[in-house]
Amino acid sequence: MGKKLKSDALLMLTALIWGTSFVAQKEGMDLIGPLAFNGIRTLIGALVLIPVILLLNGKKGEDTRTPEEKKTEKKLLIIGGVCCGLVLCLAGNVQQIGIFYTSVSHSGFITAMYVVIVPLLGLFLKKRVPLVIWCCVAASAVGLYLLCIPASGFGHVNKGDLIILLCAVLFAVHILVIDYFSPKVDGTKMSCIQFFVAGILSLIFMAPVDSALGFDLPTVSTVIGSWLPILYSGVLSCGVAYTLQIVAQKDADPTVASMILCLESVFALIAGMIILGEMMSVREVVGCVLMFAAIVVANLPTKQPDKL
């Protein structure tokens, strides 16, 4: 198997894991609250990355950096990890709460909207938005309307869809924060730190938030009862899939990689239908198609936008 074909296969597996993880996230809240679930699984993801970091460090050559450069990078690594962790905590928990109220298929496609939202947030960084992105925004808005607004009107909107839309905005912010810090520090180490930060913060705020949503504080028995979705979303989604992405993108074309990873939303839809028996109307399917097309086009390479 050639390197590119192998990379594409690994990226496809990554998208499959992330897509089906939406099912695990929904099923995991049968016994424990969203913040408890998210906190535990995120900490597990952080622990899974530790051996990956040790392995990658063992393969690195001689470190020629000066002590001052090492100190500066370490400081930036911690700052970046904490900043990413704060945003990830918000985004991940808002998503987890939204999944509790809406379907896996809706969650997958609306979350993927962050791809279209990122360029819009770039306006605050004084970057011009290409015309093709504005077209993608318009198409995704129409798709979102068809997916989330029933024929009966706005009065019957699922609040879970609105919560997931907020989650997409927060994940777009998360992408921008990562984009700022990742070129300056070790990405795997920063990801490990952000998982620890997000997990610890989730558990700190677990009691008031989960109680307000009607969940009791988790016990050993309830956590054990949710072991499968916790481990699946923690070990596979946070740890394994992230590692696969790092390995695969070394030999993959960036455009092709982004196209394949877009399939996460499609896999979420398929998993929701097969595992949870979720069904979609023709109206919702058309909305998904429009949103997916917008997401794919938004990932295509464009001329670097100029600053305003």
Rounded to the nearest integer, the mean pLDDT of the chain is 87
pLDDT band at 241 (very low <50, low <70, confident <90, very high): confident
Mean pLDDT of 163-187: 89
pLDDT in tens, 116-148: 888 888 888 777 888 888 898 899 889 988 888
Instruction: Reply yes or no on whether the pLDDT at 4 is more than 90.
Output: no
Q: How far apart are CA 59 and CA 82, in angstroms?
A: 26
pLDDT band at 36 (very low <50, low <70, confident <90, very high): very high
pTM: 0.88
pLDDT of residue 304: 53
Q: Which two tokens stand for residue 197?
A: 């930060």
Residue 60: Cβ within 10 Å count: 8
The Cα-based distances of 199 to 32, 38, 85, 141, 243 in angstroms read: 15, 7, 8, 32, 19
The Cα-based distances of 224 to 133, 200, 227 in angstroms read: 45, 19, 5
pLDDT of residue 307: 47
pLDDT band at 308 (very low <50, low <70, confident <90, very high): very low
Q: Please answer whether residues 295 and 265 qualify as being in contact, where contact means their C-beta atoms are separated by less than 8 angstroms.
A: yes
Instruction: Reply yes or no on whether the pLDDT at 159 is more than 80.
Output: yes
Q: Crossing angle for the helix pair 131-148 and 282-299, nearest 10 degrees?
A: 160
pLDDT of residue 145: 86
Q: Which two tokens stand for residue 44?
A: 């597990």
How would you class 172 by CB atoms within 10 Å of its CB: exposed for 0-12, middle for 13-18, buried for 19 or more?
buried
Mean pLDDT of 36-63: 86
pLDDT of residue 83: 95
The Cα-based distances of 196 to 19, 71, 88, 134 in angstroms read: 23, 21, 10, 36
Q: How far apart are CA 103 and CA 23, in angstroms?
A: 9
Residue 237 DSSP class: I
Range ranked top by mean pLDDT from 41-50, 250-259, 290-299: 41-50
pLDDT in tens, 72-107: 889 999 999 999 999 999 999 999 999 999 999 999
